Amino acid sequence: MKQNSMVAERGRAGKSRLDRWTGFDTAVTAISVVVCFITIYPMWYVISMSVSDPIAAASGAVAFWPVGFSVESYRIVALDREFWQAFLNSVIYVAAGCVLMLFNTIL
Amino acid sequence: MKKRRKKLLHRDLKDNVEYYLLMAVPLAFIFIFSYLPMFGLVIGFQNYSVGRPFFGEGVEWVGLRHFEKFVSSYYFPRILKNTIVLNLMGLFMGFWVPIAFALVVNEIRNGKFRKFTQTVSYMPNFISTVVVAGMFLSFIASDGIITQLLELLGIQAKSLNANKEFFPWFYTLLGVWKNFGWSSILYLSTLSSIDPSLYESASVDGATRLKKIWFITLPSLLPLIMIQLIFAIGGMLSSNTDMILLLYNPSVYSTADVIGTYVYRESLMGGAYSPGTAAGLLMSILSFILVFGANWVSRKKTDFSIW
């Protein structure tokens, strides 16, 4: 993808002025960093919450890093029989769907 | 003349029998799972209840009554308006984001950072809608992070999940968040097929990178953009029903209730399949007209069309 413009810029002999870091690059990097943050933060936040101390999590003390540490919620989920049944169902659906889909699209 | 044609067909079949056999499987699949169920649409014209036959004796034909009832129902204008508003918002806010994002990613010079950004951007797509909606609902709960942020900005943000002005924005932004990375893959793959010599000659002519985007990259993407736009217009009447079902509650029905959720709630949950089918068929026909119209306009105006 990027190769295209890279090739184009390298087209001139050696280190041309096009190889330099410009304001354009700064803008591109800034936008990308913001996008990455917006995408990652909610997911990270949920992970942080899930391993935080339940009291800290409920009181809204968690902002980025986990506050305290507790895997109690994971233990509850892992001991839930219905969860594993649902998990198994998901696996079956995905496996069967994937095989059928591949089969059909390859044909 | 006819005989010769028959002979040719026969020879063609004989020569390519393997290919035809290969082709037959997906065709059978499509026929069984896409075309045969269409006969089920007849229950839209009947008073169907589970266990009754579709044809023959014991079928109570009611003609277009279910269609009339659906269109003349008190809620029809509201759900139609909501569907169109939510879709237009999704189009205006969501359509350009993947394109812009693909252009930005395409300009990142550092290979590792580019890969990272791309991977991160389509992670949300792999999270199931239920989890995304659950996460979001906890963010807009009274002690949620979005509530706190809005209050920090001085916006009255009590009980956001019951706020009917905010719902369309939440729904739209969440949709964009979930889908922009995934949608950008299509654009990025097209970008990689652009002839590098175009960029080279543009550089020789002294084009800046912005100019190269404007005069080379965007025109190369135009056919794809048009096709995506036609699809988006065709999907105008269908919305992300499961996302809305997960996010809404009775206090935001006036802005959140769309055709899909209404039909689900009023017909399918109560086992009234005939009205539900009638509504679905009506929407399919309208969507078909929309796609057809959008394609026609696009072909006339820009030369790009799906068919």
Same domain (yes/no): A66, A96: no
Residue B46, helix vs strand vs coil: strand
What is the average per-residue pLDDT within B189-201?
87
Reported confidence tier of residue A92, pLDDT bands at 50, 70, 90: very high
What is the average per-residue pLDDT within B155-170?
81
Tens of pLDDT along B66-88?
888 888 888 889 988 999 899 99
Residue B272, helix vs strand vs coil: coil
Whole domain around residue A106: which residue ranges?
80-107
Same domain (yes/no): A57, A28: yes
Pairwise CB contact (< 8 Å): B108 & A104: no
Rounded to the nearest 5 degrees, what angle is found at the Cα of B170, between the Cα atoms of B250 and B90? 110
Same domain (yes/no): A89, A50: no
Pairwise CB contact (< 8 Å): A1 & B123: no
Phi/psi at A34 (5° precision):
-60, -45
Q: How many residues does chain A have?
A: 107
Decide if A78 touches B, using CB distance below 8 A: no
The residue of chain A nearest to residue B149, with distances taken between CA atoms, is A63
Tens of pLDDT along B258-271?
888 888 888 888 77
What pLDDT is attached to residue A11? 44
Question: How many domains does chain A divide into?
Answer: 2
Contacts of A58 in chain B (CB under 8 A): 143
B262-286 b/e (C-beta count within 10 Å ≥ 16 → b) = bbbebbeeeebbbbbbbbbbbbeee
Report yes or no on A49 lying in a domain.
yes
B68-302: which CATH topology? MetI-like fold (1.10.3720)
Same domain (yes/no): A41, A66: yes
Same domain (yes/no): A101, A52: no
Instruction: Output the CA–CA distances (angstroms, integers) from residue A1 to A27, A100, B202, in the order listed.
Output: 19, 31, 17
Report yes or no on A75 lying in a domain.
no
Phi/psi at B166 (5° precision):
-80, -25
Residue by residue, DSSP assigns A55-82 as HHHHTT--SSSPSS---HHHHHHHT-HH
Reported confidence tier of residue B30, pLDDT bands at 50, 70, 90: confident
Q: A30 to chain B nearest CA, in Å?
A: 10
The closest CB to that of A5, out of B121, B139, B212, belongs to B212
Domain spans of chain B, in order of start: 68-302
Pairwise CB contact (< 8 Å): B108 & A36: no
Same domain (yes/no): A60, A99: no
Sign, CA dihedral B76-B81-B84-B89, equals negative
**Distance between CA atoms of residues B217 and B162, nearest Å:** 44
Contacts of B22 in chain A (CB under 8 A): 107
Same domain (yes/no): A19, A56: yes
Q: Is the ipTM of this complex over 0.90?
A: no
Contacts of A57 in chain B (CB under 8 A): none
Same domain (yes/no): A48, A7: yes
What pLDDT is attached to residue A12? 42
Contacts of A39 in chain B (CB under 8 A): 120-121, 123-124, 177, 181
